[in-house]
């Protein structure tokens, strides 16, 4: 699998993401935000966590309008796999590739801890190696993870099986405890928790490992 990790000024989980992808067997390129083109023959793009452009204006807003993001949107619209974690999720909602928006945590505090997630669907490359109803432990570290969408649209996401993960114990006020959302074609995923931060025994856990292993397997089949 050929993967790219996008780097913005203020990204800080880009290398963690690259390491997790390489450990799963991916060939990873780092791509600077001012580039206008993605590398040729790419299967997968990751938008990492961090504080792109200092979270100025709105979280993810400036990054979503950077030159590379236009190529990422075009890549997704042509059926490419795009994964946004944490700030990457915020960027994906700002580009319009994913519905909703991420607001300040309901409790107003920055939260950095391990949380339990429920796997809501296995019908995606990202969740294919988990089991429905399985509970996994994944770290969160965010100030603006409160996923906002009106009730009708949130219900529609559940009805369409587009909710990838929910929080077992909602930490940030997200509607219906939604932690991760898939696009209509199920190839774009945004989530606040960081699977790349718990994908190696040296990190204290490996619940994120099947995420990347499943992704590799599924993309190899495409």
How far is residue 218's CA from residue 33's CA, in Å, rounded to a whole number? 27
Smallest separation, CB 110 to another protein (Å): 13
Site track for another protein across 115-144, x = CB under 8 A: ------------------------------
User: How many helical (H) and strand (E) elements, i.e. helices and strands, does the chain have?
Assistant: 6, 11
How far is residue 162's CA from residue 181's CA, in Å, rounded to a whole number? Answer: 6
The footprint of another protein on residues 35-64 (CB under 8 A) is 57-58, 61
Name 139's bridge partners: 114
| Identity of the residue, 70 or 203, whose beta carbon is nearer to another protein in the bound complex | 70
- Dihedral angle of Cα 193, 77, 123, 92, to the nearest 10 degrees: 10
Is there binding between residue 104 and another protein (CB under 8 A)? Answer: yes
The rounded distance, in Å, linking the Cα atoms of 112 and 11 is 17
Q: Is 126 or 147 the residue whose CB approaches another protein more closely?
A: 147
Q: Which lies closer to another protein via its Cβ, residue 15 or residue 104?
A: 104
Query: Which x/- pattern, by CB under 8 A, does the window 171-190 give for another protein?
Result: --x-----------------
Which x/- pattern over 144-163 shows residues binding another protein (rule: CB under 8 A)? Answer: --x-x-x-------------
Residue 154, sorted as left (phi over 0), alpha (psi -120 to 50) or beta, turns out to be: alpha
Task: Report the C-alpha gap between 10 and 28 in whole angstroms.
Answer: 20
> Which residues of this chain interact with another protein, rule CB under 8 A?
57-58, 61, 65, 93-94, 99-101, 103-108, 146, 148, 150, 173
């Amino acid at each position: 699998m050929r993967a790219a990790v996008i780097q913005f000024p203020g990204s800080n989980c880009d290398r963690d993401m690259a390491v997790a992808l390489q450990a799963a067997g991916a060939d990873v390129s780092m791509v600077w935000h001012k580039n206008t083109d993605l590398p040729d023959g790419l299967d997968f793009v990751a938008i990492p966590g961090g504080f792109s452009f200092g979270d100025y204006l709105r979280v993810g807003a400036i990054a979503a309008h950077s030159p590379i993001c236009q190529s990422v949107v075009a890549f997704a619209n042509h059926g490419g796999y795009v994964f946004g974690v944490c700030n990457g999720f915020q960027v994906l909602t700002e580009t319009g590739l994913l519905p909703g928006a991420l607001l300040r945590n309901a409790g107003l505090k920055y939260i950095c801890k391990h949380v339990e997630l429920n796997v809501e669907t296995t019908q995606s490359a990202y969740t294919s190696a988990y089991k429905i109803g399985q509970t996994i432990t994944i770290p969160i570290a965010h100030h603006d993870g409160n996923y906002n969408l009106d009730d009708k649209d949130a219900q529609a996401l559940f009805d369409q099986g587009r909710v990838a993960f929910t929080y077992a114990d909602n930490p940030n006020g997200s509607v219906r405890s939604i932690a991760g959302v898939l696009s209509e074609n199920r190839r774009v995923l945004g989530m606040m928790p960081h699977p790349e931060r718990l994908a190696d025994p040296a990190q204290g856990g490996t619940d994120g490992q099947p995420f990347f292993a499943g992704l590799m397997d599924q993309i190899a089949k495409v």
